Amino acid sequence: MGGLYGSLGIALGALAADRGAIEITSNNIANVNTPGYSREQVSLSENSPVQIGGLLFGTGVTLGQTTSIRDNLLERRLDQENQSAAQLNAFLGPLNQVQTLFNEAGGTGLQSSITAFFNSLIQLSDNPSDPAFRQGVVTAGQNLASAFRQDSANLQALQSNTDLSVQQSVNQINEITAQIASLNVQISGLVSVGKDPGAFLDQRTQLVRQLSGLVAVSETDAGNGSLTITTSGGAALVVAGHSFALSTQINGSTTFHDVYSQGSDITSSVTGGALGGEIQVRDQEIPSILNKLDTLAYNLAISVNTQSKAGFDANGNPGVNFFVAPASVTGASSSFTVAITDPNLVAASSDGTVGSNGNAQALAKLQNQNIVNGQTPANFYSGLIFQIGNDISQAQSEQTAVGLVQQQLQDQRSAISGVSLDEEAVSLIRFQGAYQAAANVVSVVNHLLDTTLAITTT
């Protein structure tokens, strides 16, 4: 090496390196708004010198591997917060609908039907022989039954919708894990030959982010560039180039879909992400609310029936069940029905005469007696309202907190991996200048060569 040709080689190398650096800068600028893109950094390295005689001569510059700038720990933290945020979103979606069903803040919930029923009995006690008042009790009972059935049906519809979401989430998980497995192969292939898999890493990071929005996962670096992913409960999702699809099967007792991994039911161990939130709503929150609604319906029906049978109807006959007797607590609200249609069968009398209001009084007093799990119907229902509101309120608070953490982490990620147009402009100017200088060197060397050749030919 050495001489004019050596200089020409160095200049050509510099041209190539600067052209490559400009390409990388252009790519960064092009992806300034690409979600999940991590900026790439140019790596220029000085070539090894050569010794000629007693002197060392530099041999120019080489464009090394580009490096994607990312903080893997930060990416994991973002995944974790994404799991929490998605779980809370999936939890709050259906529960906000539950909230509108029990709109007691607006005074249009079940409370008004319960109160109207007992008020109709108070009214009947004022004039137990009045056919209109008797009909009023039957109508108020039917309205109450309808309100119970409506609330129960709406809750069950929400449960069914959430079950559908569970199946959709599982399908999305399977699509994403298949893509991640494919990317694992490409990334490990590039890593094995010493190349930077930056773009594929960005894609995989984005997919893992999407996956963590669906289910809580654990990520393990397999060491060769591939990522092993399991659910937080330990069910394998991706190992090297293989993905393990989750499946759903109908549970005979609940009629909803359980989640299976390689033949094992993992429903109860699924946490986090949309799937975790959906399972939480479907299998815990709504059943809990339904159970309380059923408990209220069951105890109301049993107590009213017992008191009805202690009295006499308008014809002087012993009272009969006012509501259809529920077989069990489970399903009591969905089957809540008034058993009588003839207002004369309302057992208002305590002595068999039509003018007696003793039993109507006793029926009306049930509303202030501890007939529902040791509480009055009003207190029990009020407790249910508090539970629903409190669960939503807590989830909303967590959602706000998680949102703030997500925002901060996203800011940190952007500070590390985001593309700054100012930085890229500086790089562009620098590499443009270097390229122009190298081109000038070529021109000068070319001129010198011409001069030299002219000497030899003269």
Which residue, 368 or 373, is less far from other proteins as judged by CB? 368
Q: Please select the residue that binds other proteins; options are 355, 443, 446, 453, rule is CB under 8 A.
A: 355
Instruction: Give one DSSP letter per residue of 117-165, joined into a string.
Output: HHHHHHHHHH-TT-HHHHHHHHHHHHHHHHHHHHHHHHHHHHHHHHHHH
Q: Please select the residue that binds other proteins; options are 422, 454, 455, 458, rule is CB under 8 A.
A: 422
d(CA 343, CA 330) in angstroms, rounded, equals 29
Q: Please select the residue that binds other proteins; options are 383, 441, 442, 449, rule is CB under 8 A.
A: 383
Instruction: Kindly state the smallest distance separating residue 257's Cβ from other proteins, in Å.
Output: 28
Structure-derived torsion over alpha carbons of residues 28, 33, 35, 40, reported in degrees to the nearest 10: 10
Q: Please select the residue that binds other proteins; options are 140, 364, 366, 438, rule is CB under 8 A.
A: 364
Candidates 60-68, 80-88, 293-301, 407-415 — which segment interacts with other proteins by CB under 8 A? 407-415
User: DSSP letter at 375?
Assistant: B
d(CA 231, CA 83) in angstroms, rounded, equals 11
Count the residues of the shown chain that bind other proteins, applying the rule CB under 8 A: 71
User: DSSP letter at 357?
Assistant: -
Instruction: Kindly state the smallest distance separating residue 339's Cβ from other proteins, in Å.
Output: 24
The answer to whether 374 contacts other proteins (rule: CB under 8 A) is no
Instruction: Kindly state the smallest distance separating residue 395's Cβ from other proteins, in Å.
Output: 9
Q: Is the dihedral of CA 333, 339, 343, 349 positive or negative?
A: negative
Q: Token pair for residue 223?
A: 């060491």
Q: Please select the residue that binds other proteins; options are 221, 265, 342, 423, rule is CB under 8 A.
A: 423
Which residue, 336 or 381, is less far from other proteins as judged by CB? 381
CB atoms within 10 A of CB 452: 12
Window 86 to 115, contacts with other proteins (CB under 8 A): 99-100, 102-107, 109, 111-112, 114-115
Instruction: Kindly state the smallest distance separating residue 237's Cβ from other proteins, in Å.
Output: 29
Window 111 to 130, contacts with other proteins (CB under 8 A): 111-112, 114-116, 118-119, 122-123, 125-130
CB 88 within 8 A of CB 395: yes
Instruction: Kindly state the smallest distance separating residue 363's Cβ from other proteins, in Å.
Output: 11
CB 173 within 8 A of CB 237: yes
Name the residue among 14, 24, 46 with its Cα closest to residue 440: 14
- Burial label, 159 (beta-carbon count in 10 A; 0-12, 13-18, 19+): buried
- Burial label, 53 (beta-carbon count in 10 A; 0-12, 13-18, 19+): exposed
Window 56 to 85, contacts with other proteins (CB under 8 A): none
d(CA 87, CA 80) in angstroms, rounded, equals 11
Instruction: Kindly state the smallest distance separating residue 430's Cβ from other proteins, in Å.
Output: 12
The answer to whether 425 contacts other proteins (rule: CB under 8 A) is yes
d(CA 60, CA 45) in angstroms, rounded, equals 9
CB 71 within 8 A of CB 413: yes
Q: Please select the residue that binds other proteins; options are 224, 353, 446, 452, rule is CB under 8 A.
A: 353
Which residue, 7 or 25, is less far from other proteins as judged by CB? 25
Candidates 4-12, 53-61, 328-336, 358-366 — which segment interacts with other proteins by CB under 8 A? 358-366
Instruction: Kindly state the smallest distance separating residue 24's Cβ from other proteins, in Å.
Output: 16
Q: Please select the residue that binds other proteins; options are 337, 361, 375, 399, rule is CB under 8 A.
A: 361
Which residue, 6 or 383, is less far from other proteins as judged by CB? 383
Instruction: Give one DSSP letter per residue of 316-334, joined into a string.
Output: SPBP--SBPPPSSSTTTTT
The answer to whether 320 contacts other proteins (rule: CB under 8 A) is no
Classified as helix, coil or strand, 310 is coil
The answer to whether 29 contacts other proteins (rule: CB under 8 A) is yes
The answer to whether 52 contacts other proteins (rule: CB under 8 A) is no
Q: Please select the residue that binds other proteins; options are 59, 161, 344, 396, rule is CB under 8 A.
A: 396
